A and B are shown apart, each in its own frame.
Chain A
Amino acid sequence: MLGLRRALLVLFALGILFAGLDVALVLSSNHEDQKVATAILGPLIGLSFIGTGVFAWWRRPLNRFGLLMTGVGFAWFLAGLADSNNATVYTLGSYVAPLYLVIVIQMVLAFPTGRLETLGQRVTIAAAYLDALLVRLPFFLLGGDISNGASGRTPENVFAITDAPDLAEVFDYTSMFVAVVVLIASLVLLVRKRNAATLPQRRALAPMLWTGFALVAFLGLAFLFDVLGLPNEMADVASLLALVAFAVLPFAFLAGLVRSRYSRAGAVGELIERLNNPEADRSLGLALADALGDRSLKLVYWRPSAGHYVTYDGRAVELPAPGSGRAVTEVEREGIRVGAIIHDASLADEPDLVRAVAASAALALENERLEAELRARLDELQTSRSRLVEVSMFERRRLERDLHDGAQQRLVALSLQLGLAQRRLQDGDDRSAGALLDAARDELGRALEELRELARGIHPAVLTDRGLEAAIEALAERAALPVSLGEMPAERLPPPVEAAAYFVVAEALTNVTKYAKASQAEVRIARNGGYAVVEVHDDGVGGADPATGTGLRGLADRLAALDGRLEVHSPPGEGTTVRAEVPCG
């Protein structure tokens, strides 16, 4: 940084040296008509460009705008070489004289990034350079008159290799015609630039764009009057007005800076006033949009419990990707993230402004964040409540189906077998009656086992009587694959937490048996802070998706009712880990 600063100081010193040389040339010139005016205004104009350019360069080292502005200043001094009495210097000065105009148009079109961003801009500026340096060259080589209407005796054209002033005029005329086309194209490009700009961009662009517009327009008129052969006075007036616009440009740039600083202070002040005024419009988003002059601004609120941003309505929202034309400024309050402002990418040029506005709105944003959080939770509660009702209906239907298809069928068969046995006994066929009674006992045993299994599914008695560890052990014993038990809580947990933990393990083990193709599973239940953390891990095929199964979703809802949450980590080929966290109250 220090290196750049020193280099820029040297550059400015070089500018002063050039200005001095320019003054010397003007004062000693024997063909300059306006010696005093030129000797005073010339250096002032050149140095105002170099000074402002160096300042802009120092403030934004990566932005090429400062370079262009400094370049205009030096090109302006180069044009001053035409005041020299030395024929070579004079001819060179005359030849490069239009260069500062080309650079200044490039500068205005490239404002504020310093880069020509559209193909139209690049083509126009390339044409301008070609016109100034190439199309005009034959005019010099063919011995054109370069005295430029000066009354004194001007040095001769040393570039001339032949003397064909009429042919030279053709090239001069062509060059002026191309210049008019370039200037008209520049006017169109400036208007387009303004129209394409967003509101906050326009505020920063305005002084520079309007002055640049005046410069290009007057310059265009001056050339046009010349080309059309209108009286010289008209072209002179247009040239003078163009010169004034040119000289004003560095100040227009500075005015833009001051204006944006002034509006920055004003924006923050107005915002604070508005936020503290209970009568004012309550929408924080609108207040911020006004303060930053960005109507497209959106506020999003951080939900720490969910780990993502939500809108004011509580809906989850993704932040825009870099390069999407939108930028994000995060808002913190006392070091804690409360939300973010999604705004036009051009505002990223003024990070201090956005941060200042964000800081003054942090408290209000925190309040809105809490409201958004509440709304999001309400939404989730409503959804999970209706899902719980759905799940409970589903469970009841399943229970009815299980009873009907299982125990009830067995009892029906039992009844028929007993009836048959009775008939055999009446017929005196004891042996076949005995066989029927044996079959009936088997049937009764199976019916009892099915009823036990069903009762466990509703609420396992072992859980109530002997606690979580015993109930999980029983689950592990009944499982179709080896299940090892890890850490278990030493003390009893609240009954709803124990039930939730039990059903997480039961459902997870059922899924392992059904889908995972695992060789073993592991269960652990630990107390972590105020939470019971249940983990069931298997070494199966993975790829489980909790969104597709009613079982896991029902569990997630059951856990959500207790403020807990369920996570399923199941990368294909790497087994599945079901992890539930339930607050212990």
Chain B
Amino acid sequence: MVTTVLIVDDHPTFRATARMLLEAEGYDVIGEAPDGTTAITETHRLHPDLVLLDINLPDLNGFQVAEQITANDGAPAVVLTSSRDSSDFGPLVSGSGARGFISKGDLSGAAIAKLL
């Protein structure tokens, strides 16, 4: 079964490139969101299997969004991402309800599959 994905990032260039990359690797990108609030409503509307969630968003930060998205049963898996390194965030990633963290430069379908 194909994994459906919602990409959340405030940089359109990244969203476009990530979509190309994931689609090339067999994922189905069903939506994009530029900020945290839109991410939450789009998750409820589209029910993706996976939310690829940037940490630095203009309104909420990625950890807050991840907490809200993963609070209910049957919630999608969340993978956090950032152009920074995971060491910049310490224990925040593990406490947020997300499956894990992938640095933007290392993003690939295989890296995501490993976390799921």
**Chain A residues in contact with chain B, CB under 8 A?**
404-405, 408-413, 415-417, 419-420, 423-424, 443
Contact = CB atoms under 8 A, between A and B. Distances in A.
Contact of A413 (B14, B24, B108): B14
A415 B14 CA distance: 11
How many B residues are at the interface, by size bracket?
A: 10 to 19
A244 B14 CA distance: 108
Prevailing SS type, chain B contact patch: helix
B21 A419 contact: yes
Given A408-B83, A419-B108, A420-B24, A413 B56 contact: no
Interface in B6-34: 11, 13-14, 17-18, 20-21, 24
B82 to A, nearest CB: 9
Interface string B77-115: 000000110000000000000000000110110000000
Given A404-B83, A409-B83, A423-B24, A416 B107 contact: yes
18 contacts: A404-B84, A408-B83, A409-B11, A409-B13, A409-B83, A410-B13, A411-B105, A412-B83, A412-B104, A413-B14, A413-B17, A416-B17, A416-B21, A416-B104, A420-B17, A420-B21, A420-B24, A443-B13
A416 B20 CA distance: 9
Contacts of A416: 14, 17-18, 21, 104-105, 107
Given A404-B84, A409-B14, A412-B105, 18 more contacts: A404-B56, A404-B83, A409-B11, A409-B13, A412-B14, A412-B83, A412-B104, A413-B11, A413-B17, A415-B104, A416-B17, A416-B105, A419-B108, A420-B20, A420-B21, A420-B24, A423-B24, A424-B24
Contacts of A415: 104-105
A413 B20 contact: no
Contacts of A420: 17, 20-21, 24
Given A412-B83, A412-B105, A417 B56 contact: no
A419 B13 CA distance: 15
Most chain-A CB neighbours within 10 Å: which of B14, B18, B24, B83? Answer: B83
A409 B103 CA distance: 12
Interface string B46-58: 0000000000100
A412 B14 CA distance: 8
Contacts of B83: 404, 408-409, 412
Interface of B: 11, 13-14, 17-18, 20-21, 24, 56, 83-84, 104-105, 107-108
Nearest to B84: A404
Contacts of B105: 411-412, 415-416
A423 B21 CA distance: 10
Nearest to A409: B11
Most chain-B CB neighbours within 10 Å: which of A404, A413, A423, A424? Answer: A413
Contacts of A413: 11, 13-14, 17
Contacts of A417: 17
A424 B25 CA distance: 11
Contacts of B11: 405, 409, 413
Nearest to A436: B20
A287 B77 CA distance: 82
Contacts of B84: 404
Contacts of A412: 14, 83, 104-105
Contacts of B17: 413, 416-417, 420
Nearest to B18: A416
Contacts of A410: 13
Q: Can you list the 8 inter-chain pairs with the closest CB atoms, starting with the nearest?
A: A412-B104, A415-B105, A416-B17, A413-B13, A408-B83, A412-B83, A413-B17, A409-B11
Nearest to B16: A413
Nearest to B11: A409
B25 to A, nearest CB: 8
A408 B54 CA distance: 14
Contacts of B18: 416
Nearest to B9: A409
A20 to B, nearest CB: 105
Contacts of B107: 416
Contacts of B20: 420
A406 to B, nearest CB: 10
Contacts of B21: 416, 419-420
A270 B39 CA distance: 83
A208 B105 CA distance: 97
A423 B22 CA distance: 12
Most chain-B CB neighbours within 10 Å: which of A408, A410, A412, A420? Answer: A412
Contacts of A419: 21, 108
Nearest to B13: A413
B81 to A, nearest CB: 9
A413 B54 CA distance: 14
